[in-house]
Structure 1
């Protein structure tokens, strides 16, 4: 079992379709966990490290995130903050089913489903005005019944319109759906995810998608937002992240298991994708996410 296996949280939605929470820091809710619901999460105080799936990055007050179903997450305030924060987190949890049924009843709302698809990997809404974000959260908090739902829907629409959406976790990169070209690209994505450690060439992938290499490369970039090689490396790095913090295997062994035949190449791509070296990633993940051991006498 991984030393940082997430705690699974069960959310009771029997009497409400969305759940609003806010809490300070430190708090027992600040933990590495996952749940079936989507979560909109606004940081209102402190700064530190954000953990979303295999993503590790900095967060600061005003940052707004969205996480998808069963995507582990946690926000850990840096230890330079010695005074408790009365309110550090404002968050809303909701199900795919609720938004899906809304889109069924109101086709104009269906475009918001694209936002939920991105959230499978986790989203940071870069540059979203923190005052507006807090205002939306407060409106959801302060309203009841149908008015709360309207406030929530209004926030989702604004977020969907926001241009700067940064996806976070390589391990949760989603499979696109849609027309025939997208479906063929999705087949390739599925193959990559399942066979990431194998040697997979652009030519092989293009043959699988029944396209020429030029056409395949153009369509793959359009659908995934990455070139084929970039995407393959992101998947491999994502898999390596899991092995780094869940095992004591040597980094060279992990690099080979992830599909990199050259350690220097692995280190270079890892640094590019994660912003830190593999050893730094392992140290950071274990220090901040591993359960705190009681001192022994």
Structure 2
């Protein structure tokens, strides 16, 4: 399934206005997909890469996200995690339209529409207390009928009050057609993510997309917001981050495992994207990795 052609998921709301789910890892539910419903998504365990629209970033246990209608998303646990997890994700799916109708009936609730608008690009609620987030999710899970709706609304109000909301995707929505440029660019993106260690030139990527180099470069920039070489480096640095905080491999070894041929080049790109050296990143990440792992055992 292409990163630019997400699987479309249909949610039955004929008997309930919100849907609660939780699942472990690995799971068939961990896939690149989109749906009409908004989604609140709490990561309970592991670390890895978040893909939301055209955003690629790190996630860890306790991170809380919201995605808007039809915004493709997936959370990919890093390959260095080998043990299955009983519960990795807790999530709630709900209708944007239902919340809008609630605000029509109760004007005091209209302020919550702000985060629904923001969620069209994806939101990460940075610094939101993970214990509180899990408590709200459990309250929704463990209640029924009107009580479940009240628990859900209470959570939305708290999230709206939270100050640190990080907007994730530059593109609100990408809806490719079968043979469109989006679909062909998506094939290249899939190839890069699955084969990030291999060398792939702009010429090879252009051929894979069935475009001239000039057309490919222009379309890739338009679809992803990044030049092709920049995108490849971002994917590789993201993979390197996972190796740094979850293994004791030397930086030189990780450089080559991530697909870089030159240590100086690796260090330069890492510093540009992360604002610190690989060694500094490892030290910083491990400081908050231990408590996160302890809470998910």
What secondary structure sits across from 1:110 in the alignment?
helix
TM-score normalised over the length of structure 1: 0.64
Aligned 8 A contact 1:244 1:282 in 2: no
Match of 1:170 in 2: 170
Whole-Å Cα distance in 1 between the matches of residues 66 and 24 of structure 2?
Answer: 19
Aligned in 2, Cα 1:23/1:243: closer, same or farther, shift over 3 Å?
closer
* Residues 198-213 of structure 1: pairs in structure 2 closer than 5 A: none
Q: Is the 8 A contact 1:243 1:254 kept in 2?
A: no
Match of 1:278 in 2: 231
Partner of 2:39: 39
1:139 aligns to what SS in structure 2?
helix
Question: Which residue matches 1:28?
Answer: 28
Per-residue deviation, 1:3: 6.6
**CA contact 2:8–2:35 (8 Å) conserved in 1:** yes
Partner secondary structure for residue 138 of structure 2: helix
- Number of residues paired by the alignment? 210
SS at match of 1:21: strand
1:25-60 per-residue CA deviation (whole Å, 9 max, x = no partner) reads 011111111100000000000000111111111100
RMSD: 3.1
Measured at CA, do residues 258 and 75 of structure 1 come closer, stay the same or move farther in structure 2, by a change above 3 Å? closer
Gap change, CA 1:257 and 1:17, over 3 Å in 2: closer
1:249 matches 2:206: yes
Tell me if the contact between 1:39 and 1:93 (Cα under 8 Å) persists in the aligned partners: yes
Distance, in Å, in 2 between the alignment partners of 1:132 and 1:246 is 36
Query: Which secondary structure state, in structure 2, belongs to the residue aligned with residue 11 of structure 1?
Result: coil
> Are 1:108 and 2:108 an aligned pair?
yes
The alpha-carbon deviation at position 256 of structure 1 amounts to 3.6
Q: CA deviation at 1:249?
A: 2.0
Q: How far is 1:277 from its partner?
A: 2.1
CA distance in 2, matches of 1:284, 1:243: 21
Shift of 1:278: 2.2
- After superposition, the C-alpha distances for 1:226-245 in whole angstroms (9 at most, x for unaligned) are xxxxxxxxxxxx9xx86852
**Does the aligned pair in 2 maintain the 1:39–1:91 contact within 8 Å?**
yes
1:244 and 1:278 in contact (8 A); partners too: no
Which ranges of structure 1 fall in alignment gaps of 5 or more residues? Answer: 174-237, 261-268, 286-297
**Where does the alignment leave 5 or more consecutive residues of structure 2 unmatched?**
174-181, 192-204, 208-212, 239-297
Please show how residues 260-279 of structure 1 align to structure 2 within 5 Å: 270=226, 277-279=230-232
